């Protein structure tokens, strides 16, 4: 009997819902606006979209093994309890597992979005076959996941993996987390763009201004990538700096944990080699000999699908107990 | 039938040999100069001292379960092969396990000295009952061990745990490892003393000079502790700085791994609260809320005996397979 999996990825802007087979292939997927379906409306929208996708594939509820969902926020993945959602303020201590199980009738498993992405990459993407892996997502924040000896490591309170909050300078910018000099305070999207906008307002020469149609407030990382690929010195330099900062943070992680692979995903990773080259150079130059030689830095492979693929994998892990 | 364990700790100055019962109690111990027994003479000296201790306890070889040994250096603990000893130059790729087994007739197990110390502390010392522990030794170098989910984590090439080489500044002093701004380059014994001696030669006002009988070259960390306990502002400040540097490095480790306990040992830890207080304050102030609240910082408990106790434990782990 063929069984199927439901994978859900709650993003800042879109919530993706997919139906997958047991090998992690996406059969059908669709999405809706996260911001327009907050709180209980999110539960309903997930369930409705899953029903509609199921109908199109002529699947019944009994054809599903279960539902996995990744959410941005702090949570207890064992109980499926979300302490808070990063993008849905005032929805706190949500028993997401219970709510979704009641609504969909499917066994449901919940995890943090970065952990879910990492699981997707390790099972089907860039990390296939690797046992010691560090995952990073570069976006508004810098998320992380630590896989050691084949297992996702959670730490004492299930909050391990905060690579974004490894400091790279004792006296650095203050970070939203309350810390000082965290890598996120250098390379997080908003921190990064704030510096760029400040530079441009001060009159730095760069084609980014023209690319943004002189609307400084609308500048995006993609515009910096475009400028850099066109040879813009300022933009090239900003990406190089980002790579170097990341290289320093990863030097500490690599010396400490001796991983074989570092997978980097998220929107900012779209700058590609503009960031990856200086990052690899910095790591090679600064990390200890053996650790630095071993640690390969690669880009995430599953792209936007990593979330739903990893979420679906949660179901297999929990119900089939093949891996943990 | 009662069985006993031999524990050996090869230190920079002394090599300690002890006979222990299966509960980790030391029945008898003695030591010899490491520097006067290099290479094969070290093997002979370990064996001779063990024989002599055994005679005093009226034990025969068959009364021993095996021998465990901790050495400062890079090694493959699985094969008992020491790539190099930190303090015995030109003794490379030593099959220590084989050599000792041949000489003593006892099943022998080899590990890095810091890992061995950490194992001792986790089994019988400050880390008893904890599953997520970071161990640090502060001495000439800064050593480390990472215990996650109850197991010592080795990394892909068995070289994980190098907490001493987590950078705390992008632009910092060059470290012996080749890196920049590593915590060891701030708090390692020689780096630390070099700064102190430089300050004193420049004429900084401190009682350390008098305590050293005006012999700047002979200044030790213990003299700084003495001065600080006597209220010397300079010495107090140096220890506070050390605590703060360590606090920054541990902020990154704690945010990343969410451990419940950080055990600090080694000679420099003898400064006690002079270092521990600013360290704890820095960690509390800079680490993320949950991680910072959970991570307790304590001093190693077994002192000089941690090495032989942890080494003996290696035998149990490998032969009795209770824990790994």
Domain boundaries, chain B: 4-119+304-320, 128-300
The confidence score (pLDDT) of residue A3 equals 93
Contact criterion met (CB < 8 Å) for A155 and B166: no
User: Looking at CA atoms only, how far is residue A318 from chain B in angstroms?
Assistant: 19
Q: SS3 sequence, A257-320? A: HCCCEEEEECHHHHHCHHHHHHHHHHHHHHCCHHHHHHCEEEECCCHHHHHHHHHHHHHHHHHH
Q: Is A115 helix (H, G, I), strand (E, B) or coil?
A: helix
Listed in sequence order, the residues at least 6 apart from B129 whose beta carbon sits closer than 8 Å to its beta carbon are none
Contact criterion met (CB < 8 Å) for B156 and A287: no
Listed in sequence order, the residues at least 6 apart from B51 whose beta carbon sits closer than 8 Å to its beta carbon are none
The confidence score (pLDDT) of residue A74 equals 85
Contact criterion met (CB < 8 Å) for B257 and A149: no
Residue B161: list chain A partners with CB under 8 A.
256
B306-320 and B113-124 helices, crossing angle to 10°: 80
Residue burial B241-271, b: 16+ Cβ < 10 Å; e: rest: bbbbbbbbbbbbbbbbbbbbbbbbbbebbeb
Contact criterion met (CB < 8 Å) for B252 and A255: no
What is the C-alpha separation between B287 and A157, in angstroms, rounded?
Answer: 14
The stretches of B258-303 forming alpha helices (DSSP H) are: 273-286, 289-294
Is B272 within 8 Å of B149 (Cβ atoms)?
Answer: no
Strand partners, B108: B67
Residue A150: list chain B partners with CB under 8 A.
none
Nearest to B177 among A144, A248, A288 (CB): A288
Residue A167: list chain B partners with CB under 8 A.
168, 248, 251-252, 286
Q: Which of A66, A107, A109, A5 is nearest to A324 (CA)?
A: A109
User: Looking at CA atoms only, how far is residue A165 from chain B in angstroms?
Assistant: 6
Residue burial A146-170, b: 16+ Cβ < 10 Å; e: rest: bbbeeebbbbbbbbbbbbbbbbbbb
Q: Is A153 helix (H, G, I), strand (E, B) or coil?
A: coil
CATH architecture of A4-119+304-320: 2-Layer Sandwich (3.30)
Per mean pLDDT, which range of A89-93, A204-208, B18-22 is the poorest? A89-93
Q: Mean of the pLDDT values across residues A217-225? A: 96
Residue of chain B with shortest Cα separation from A162 = B256
What DSSP designation does B258 have?
A: -
Contact criterion met (CB < 8 Å) for B256 and A159: no
Return the number of other C-beta atoms located less than 10 Å from residue A318's C-beta. Answer: 18
Based on the number of CB atoms within 10 Å of its own CB, is B202 exposed (0-12), middle (13-18) or buried (19 or more)? exposed
User: Looking at CA atoms only, how far is residue A42 from chain B in angstroms?
Assistant: 28
What is the C-alpha separation between A4 and A46, in angstroms, rounded?
Answer: 16
Residue A129: list chain B partners with CB under 8 A.
none
pLDDT per residue over A250-281, tens digit each?
Answer: 999 999 999 999 999 998 888 999 999 999 99
The confidence score (pLDDT) of residue B324 equals 44
Listed in sequence order, the residues at least 6 apart from A267 whose beta carbon sits closer than 8 Å to its beta carbon are A138, A139, A189, A221
The confidence score (pLDDT) of residue A38 equals 85
Residue A165: list chain B partners with CB under 8 A.
251-252, 255-256, 288
Q: Do domains A4-119+304-320 and A129-300 have the same CATH topology?
A: yes
Residue A159: list chain B partners with CB under 8 A.
258, 288, 290-291
Strand partners, B75: B82
Residue of chain B with shortest Cα separation from A169 = B169
Full DSSP string of B173-218: PBPTTS-BSBTHHHHSHHHHHHHHHHHHHTT---THHHHTTT-GGG
Total CB pairs under 8 A between chain A and B: 152
Residue B255: list chain A partners with CB under 8 A.
162-163, 165-166, 177, 179, 182
Per-position pLDDT tens, chain B of length 324: 689 999 999 988 899 999 999 999 999 999 999 989 988 999 999 999 999 999 999 999 999 999 999 999 889 999 999 998 887 888 999 999 999 999 999 999 999 999 999 999 999 999 999 999 999 999 888 999 999 999 999 999 999 999 999 999 999 999 999 999 999 999 999 999 999 999 999 999 999 999 999 999 999 999 999 999 999 999 999 999 999 999 999 999 999 999 999 999 998 888 999 999 999 999 999 999 999 999 999 999 999 899 999 999 999 999 886 444
The confidence score (pLDDT) of residue B323 equals 43
The confidence score (pLDDT) of residue A85 equals 86
In a mutational test of the B interface, the residue from A146, A166, A252 whose CB has the highest number of chain B CBs within 10 Å is: A252
What CATH class does A129-300 carry?
alpha beta
Is B166 within 8 Å of B249 (Cβ atoms)?
Answer: yes
Tokens in use for A207?
A: 């084609």
Return the number of other C-beta atoms located less than 10 Å from residue A295's C-beta. Answer: 27
The confidence score (pLDDT) of residue A321 equals 63
The stretches of chain A forming alpha helices (DSSP H) are: 40-56, 96-104, 113-124, 184-187, 189-201, 208-211, 221-229, 233-257, 273-286, 289-294, 306-320
Which of 3.30.420.40, 3.40.50.720, 3.20.20.70, 3.40.190.10 is the CATH number of B128-300?
3.30.420.40
Residue of chain B with shortest Cα separation from A251 = B166
Nearest to B159 among A160, A248, A258 (CB): A258
Nearest to B157 among A170, A253, A290 (CB): A290
Question: What is the value of ipTM here, to two decimals?
Answer: 0.94
Nearest to B160 among A168, A252, A256 (CB): A256
Is A8 within 8 Å of A67 (Cβ atoms)?
Answer: yes
pLDDT per residue over A99-120, tens digit each?
Answer: 999 999 999 999 999 999 999 9
Residue A245: list chain B partners with CB under 8 A.
170
Tell me the whole-structure pTM to 2 decimals: 0.94
What is the C-alpha separation between B130 and A155, in angstroms, rounded?
Answer: 12
The confidence score (pLDDT) of residue A323 equals 43
Residue B316: C-alpha distances to residues B58, B302, B310, B311 (Å): 22, 18, 10, 9
Nearest to B159 among A156, A245, A290 (CB): A290
What is the C-alpha separation between B267 and B269, in angstroms, rounded?
Answer: 5
B4 φ, ψ (degrees, to nearest 5) = -125, 165
Contact criterion met (CB < 8 Å) for A155 and B244: no
Nearest to A291 among B159, B181, B288 (CB): B159
A126 φ, ψ (degrees, to nearest 5) = -65, -20
Mean of all residue pLDDT scores within chain A: 95
């Amino acid at each position: 009997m063929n069984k199927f999996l439901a994978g859900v990825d709650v993003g800042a802007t879109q919530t993706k819902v997919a139906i997958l087979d047991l090998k992690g292939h996406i059969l059908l997927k669709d999405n809706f606006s996260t911001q327009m379906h907050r709180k209980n409306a999110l539960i309903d929208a997930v369930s409705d979209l899953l029903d509609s996708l199921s109908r199109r594939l002529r699947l019944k509820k009994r054809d599903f093994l279960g539902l996995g969902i990744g959410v941005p926020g702090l949570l207890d993945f064992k109980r499926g309890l979300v302490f808070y959602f990063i993008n849905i303020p005032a929805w706190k201590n949500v028993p997401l597992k219970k709510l979704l199980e009641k609504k969909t009738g499917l066994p449901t498993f919940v995890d943090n979005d970065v952990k879910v992405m990492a699981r997707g990459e390790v099972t089907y993407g860039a990390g296939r076959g690797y046992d010691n892996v560090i995952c990073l997502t570069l976006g508004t924040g810098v998320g992380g996941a630590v896989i050691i000896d084949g297992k996702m490591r959670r730490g004492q309170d299930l909050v391990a993996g905060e690579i974004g909050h490894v400091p790279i300078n004792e006296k650095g910018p203050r970070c939203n987390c309350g810390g000082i000099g965290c890598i996120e305070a250098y390379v997080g999207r908003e921190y990064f763009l704030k510096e760029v906008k400040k530079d441009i307002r001060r009159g730095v020469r760069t084609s980014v201004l023209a690319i943004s149609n002189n609307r400084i407030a609308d500048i995006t990382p993609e515009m910096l990538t475009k400028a850099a690929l066109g040879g813009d010195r300022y933009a090239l330099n900003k990406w190089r700096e980002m790579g170097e900062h990341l290289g320093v943070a990863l030097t500490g992680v690599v010396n400490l944990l001796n991983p074989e692979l570092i997978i980097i995903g998220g929107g900012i990773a779209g700058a590609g080699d503009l960031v990856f080259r200086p990052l690899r150079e910095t790591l090679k130059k600064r990390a200890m000999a053996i650790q630095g030689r071993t640690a390969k830095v690669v880009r995430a492979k599953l792209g936007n699908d990593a979330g739903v693929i990893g979420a679906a994998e949660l179901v297999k892990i929990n119900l089939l107990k093949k891996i943990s």
